[in-house]
Structures are given as C-alpha cells and as structure tokens.
Structure 1
Amino acid sequence: MFNKVILIGNLTRDVELRYLPSGQALAKCGIATNRRFKDSSGMQKDETMFIDFTVWGRSAEIANQYLRKGSKVLIEGRLTLEQWTDQNGQKRSKHSITVENLKMLDRRSDSEQGHQGGTGYDQAAPTYNQPQSTYAQPAAQQQYQAPVQQQTPAQQPVQELPTIDIDEDDIPF
C-alpha cells in the first residue's frame, strides 16, 4: 500500500510552532485547497477543502519563520488519523497530513504584502533550468572541440585533428 498526498493551497492561519521535551520542533497549521468543476446542470462550482497538517524538525522552524496566513505552499506527505477524547469525554478524530516535503510558492513581493517589515524570505519560487544539450542546436552549428590539456609549450605535441566531412542527410536524427 502507498499513502502519499500532494496539495497546493494557501495557509488558513499562521504557523503554530512548539518544541517537545526532546527538543524536536513541531509546527501545526492548515491549508485551504480549491477545486473548480461543473455540476450536472453545467453550472460552474467551487469546492474548498480545509486540511490541517503537521511539520517536524528544521522544516517546522523554517515554516514558522517564513510562512504566514495566506502564504501559498505545496505540501507533500502522508495522510494520518488523529484520535483523542474531548473535554466532554467524547471520542473525536480527524484526518490530517504529516508533511515530508514543503515548498514555498510565493515570490518575495507576494509574501511581503500584508506583512510589514518583510519576512526575510528573499528567494523567488523555484525555477528549474535544464542545461542546454548540444543536440538542441542545429547540426550546422555543432562543432567538435578536443579536450584541452594543460601542458607547457615544450611538452605540447604538434597534432592536427582530421576534418570529417559529414553530409546532413547522413545524420539519422
């Protein structure tokens, strides 16, 4: 069996950080996620889910430092069932998320709106750039360059690389 949950949404309240007697950091918060769909009559509907989550360790401290009510986040973790007895002796339970990965999705300017003095979070949302491959260049622009070895002028052998004449029609890709 596999228990994995990935949610994107906005925090419903500020992060509540506390430390256990062992010194381990524990943060609790909630996330609101939206789903837009058409009902059977074709009307556009919005459904909002409110889910509590728990973050442990250094991630809990970072969440407390940089996140505020309304911050946009992606959380990845596992669904857990919390059970307790309330003040009236009634057994209660709820599902929540135990977070394994948390990503801040707000840009700095977004996170500072409504938080006077800034949050100290000065990094934009993650951007992933793939390295450019030589295969992405047109064949006419590709050139072979021999590796350069550091040698003194007296040690450098005189060597010329042969020129290979390849017709573009011979290249299989």
Structure 2
Amino acid sequence: MFNKVVLVGNLTRDIEMRYTPLGAAIGSSGIAVTRRFNASSGEKKEETCFIDITFFGRSAEVANQYLNKGSKVLIEGRLKFDQWSDQNGQNRSKHSVYVESMEMLGSNPQSSGNFGQNHNQKQNQNYDPYETREAKVSQARPTQNYQEEKIKEIDIDDFDDDKTELPF
C-alpha cells in the first residue's frame, strides 16, 4: 500500500505546540489549498479545501519558529483518517495529514525569527505538481549524446595494410 500526500497552500492558523511526557514536540495547524478552474459556462471559479495537518519532532519546532497564519508551505506526508464520538454521541470523522517533510515557500512579512529574504527566495521556486518526472529529465539531457563527441570516424581505406596497424 502507498499513502503519500503533497499539498501546497497557506496555513490557516498559527502552529499550536504541545509536548509528550517524553519531550517529543507535536505541532498542529491547518492548510488551505485552493484550486482555480474554468467552469463549463466559461466562468472562472475557485474551490478551497481546508485540511488539518500535524508536525512531529524537529519539524514541529521549526514550523512553530518560522511559520504562522498565512505562511505558504509545501508539505509531504501521509493521510490519516480520524474517528470519534462527539458530546451528543454522534460518530464523527475527518481526514488529516501527518507531515513527514515540508518546504517553506515565499516570503511572509509577519513571520518571526531569522527566516530571511535569501532563504525565502531560494525556497520560492515555481512548483508544478503536474509536471512529470520525464519532462524534468528530458530538459536536463544535453542535445548531443556525450559519447558521440568522443568517437572519431576512421576511414580504413586511408591505411596501408603493410605499413600501418589498424587501431582496433
């Protein structure tokens, strides 16, 4: 089985930190992911999905230090299905994401700490989740084959059989 989620969006609230009795950090927040599309009528629409996310360990501490409400972030993690009964005895459920890695995107003037402009510019790369791996690989390939440049053509008619040894 494979359970992997990649989301790019903005945090909906500041990171809420708590610690286990053994001292492990757990950070909770939410992310808003907006999808823009053209409806069948030609009208431009957008749809926003709000998802709870949970950071663990050092990631939680880093997220708490550098991110706050409105921060743009790319997260990778696994989808978790939570079920519980509310105060009225009704069964409730929701999906959330347990973050395994994150990348801070863009600049956020509200952020605190030493998350400076140089780091923001480095992290603010145009991320296209729909770009295929093959497209990236083909862009990285040189236009001429590496080994073709090293091979010299030899015309064997230029060699005299008695005097010159063929190079192969």
Global fold match (TM > 0.5): yes
Question: 1:126 pairs with 123, 127, 146, which one?
Answer: 123
Residue in structure 2 matched with residue 10 of structure 1 by the alignment: 10
Letter in 1 for 2:77: G
SS in 1 for 2:40: coil
Alignment gaps of 5+ in structure 1: 129-134, 137-166
Indicate the residue corresponding to 2:157 in structure 1. Answer: none
Which residue of structure 2 lines up, in the alignment, with residue 78 of structure 1? 78
Residue 95 of structure 2: SS of its match in structure 1? strand
Structure 2 counterparts to residues 70-149 of structure 1, below 5 A: 70-106=70-106, 110-111=107-108, 113-115=109-111, 118-122=112-116, 123-124=119-120, 125-126=122-123
Distance in 1 (alpha carbons) for counterparts of 2:123 and 2:9: 16
- List runs of 5+ in structure 2 lacking aligned partners: 126-140, 143-148, 154-168
Runs (4+) of structure 1 exceeding 3 A deviation are: 125-128, 167-171
Q: CA RMSD in A?
A: 2.6
1:63 aligned counterpart, secondary structure:
helix
Kindly, what percent of the aligned residue pairs are identical?
55
**Normalized against structure 1, the TM-score is what?**
0.67
Q: Would you say 1:69 and 2:69 are equivalent positions?
A: yes
- Equivalents in 2 of 1:54, 1:169: separation in Å? 56
Q: Distance in 1 between matches of 2:71 and 2:124?
A: 18
1:57 corresponding residue in structure 2: 57
Shift of 1:38: 1.2
Cα deviation, residue 169, structure 1: 9.8
Q: Which amino acid is the alignment partner of residue 11 of structure 1?
A: L
Q: 64-73 vs 77-86, which deviates more?
A: 77-86
Amino acid across the alignment from 2:123: P
Q: How many residues align?
A: 130
Could you list the per-position Cα deviations for residues 3-61 of structure 1 after superposition, in whole angstroms to 9, with x for gaps in the alignment?
11000000000000100112111000000111111111121111111111111001001
Change (3 A) 1:127 1:29: closer
User: Paired residue for 1:37?
Assistant: 37
Distance in 1 between residues matched to 2:89 and 2:124, nearest whole Å: 50
C-alpha distance in structure 2 between counterparts of 1:83 and 1:63, whole Å:
26
Give SS of 2:123's match: coil
Moved more, 65-74 or 19-28: 19-28
In 2, the alpha carbon distance for the partners of 1:168 and 1:101 equals 43
Q: Distance in 1 between matches of 2:152 and 2:44?
A: 55
